[in-house]
Structure 1
Amino acid sequence: MLEKNILTTLAYYQALGNMPLTLTELQKYLVKKEGKNNVPLFEIQKALDFLVNSKIVYVKNGFFYLENNNFYSKRIENIKITQKKWKELVYMAKFLIYIPYIRSVAVTGSLALNNSSTGSDFDIFIETKKDRIWMSRLLVTLTTWILGRKKYKKRRKDRLCFNRFVVENSDLGPTNINQIVNNRVILWRHKQDTKYESIFFFKSNPINILFKNLTEHILDVTGLGLLTEKITGWLQIQKINHNSVKYPKYIFPLQVKVSNIFFYYPRVLEGEEKYKQILKSINQ
């Protein structure tokens, strides 16, 4: 079973970004449906030894990969690029923590996986207060656009891409895309006792946080927060429903009262198909 999980994991990350994995990365990202949450390294190493000796899995300088995924040199280059991009992310995204109703800011995608290329954007995962998800998304989008940091088709390098909004403490949605979400790196989080926690880089300014809290209080007390949520939710749903991108049917219909908004880009579907093909070739 463990050998199968390892092969599934290597195939998944090959389809995702031609990404050979180290032993510790295999432990961290291991794709499994059941069993232990944290498989000991020695068990993974033992299974890898069997797979390597059987010439099903290959290894180079501590990076494990399938036969048709010898991207070792590229992975090393991407690791170096990723370290530089973390510094850029701090400059590009710190303003998000001061937007009303934002409860958590995290990064997903290639940066979280330590596999960014030069032209990579920043995939951002946002948690919001309950019943404020649409208003939060609008504020995030507008502020990012005003600051000139929003991603566009022809301008994506080091730009912010908001492909996931969820209400705090809610379900993360479809399991087939949660592998990446589960490996997100939390940059900043609002704690229930009103304190704020910097998990990685983002240090909050107390005065700015005070202004944020005051803004939220005024919006909630006056009822403008709930009214704006309903109006902006309806408007955004109309726009999304007329989007040229065709999403899987199970994503719709969107509703104003929702706890999870995500955007299922065509490249995700392409990655899933590639993943299935790799698994099929392994099992032959």
Structure 2
Amino acid sequence: MKAAVLVKPLQIELVDHPIPNPGPGQLRIRLQEVGICGSDIHYFGGHRPLPEPTIIGHEGWGYIDAQGEGVNRELGERVVVDPNAPCGECSYCARGQATVCPNKRTIGLNAPGCFAEYVLIPADFAHKLPDSITSKDAVTIEPTAVAYNALKKASLTKGDAIYVLGLGAIGMLITHLAVQQGLHVFATDLNPVLQEKAYEFGALKDDWKSKDIRVIFECTGSAAATTQLIADAPRGASVILLGLSEKQASFTPLDLVRRGISIQGSLIYDHPEDFQSVIQLIKDGKIQPHKIISKYIPLAEVQAGLQAATDGHPGKIVVQIV
């Protein structure tokens, strides 16, 4: 099979790779499309070094091509890849915190990823796609689940006001979902193309600092922006961090406590409910996450696609495998 392998930071090679055979409990998926994610950009740039040449990518959908022992799925079934499989045995998994399981198997990180013609995944982590869901929506389900989980953590009520800083895929999808939920959404990004897209999704144009903001979603991944955002947060607000910065942000504990500010991280999603909820929302016509897609490229151009995303290309870039 053809696979785009990250051999070292900033270098992808398209290679012929053996087609993997599914083991017990596994499915082999013939991939069709894969989105480029912010974490792929981190790996590509060497910000999170991988131990060896790796097939990255995890936002994929395709068809069940083969199955291992103990699996009884329909060959040819159309599915979306749920790329993070927790161990199910550690103390975190036992108390319902599987998102932070230290032993989870993550496609495109510690297991071969989706920038390839085939990928192996645990059978329970392939979600069936209704026929009514188009390919362009299918490829955006995984990042939409990330956004859905963050909003779920916020425990908001219709009519509440939120602020989203950073309108990459996750920030834009939080905006889209929040508007659908009846929230008042204020969102900003330095890129005017992304800012206008947020307005198209229903974000409001008023200054967020003059509003009664309940929750702030930090989606830039900038430590400096996070520091400033915490300082600017209104009294009683919660700050949910989704951006992945490796640098130090800062705050003054006394100030934080006096203003009643809480800070929480949000990582990936709950299995299987968040994927299932997103699939249902798309099926019901309540959300159209494909609207974040701005460009399609072939597998042979993954290097260029990752570089474009690194350089700030506005919108989601999708790799077409076939």
Q: TM-score, normalised by structure 1?
A: 0.25
Who wins on radius of gyration, i.e. which is larger? Answer: 1
Q: TM-score, normalised by structure 2?
A: 0.23
Q: Which has the higher strand share?
A: 2
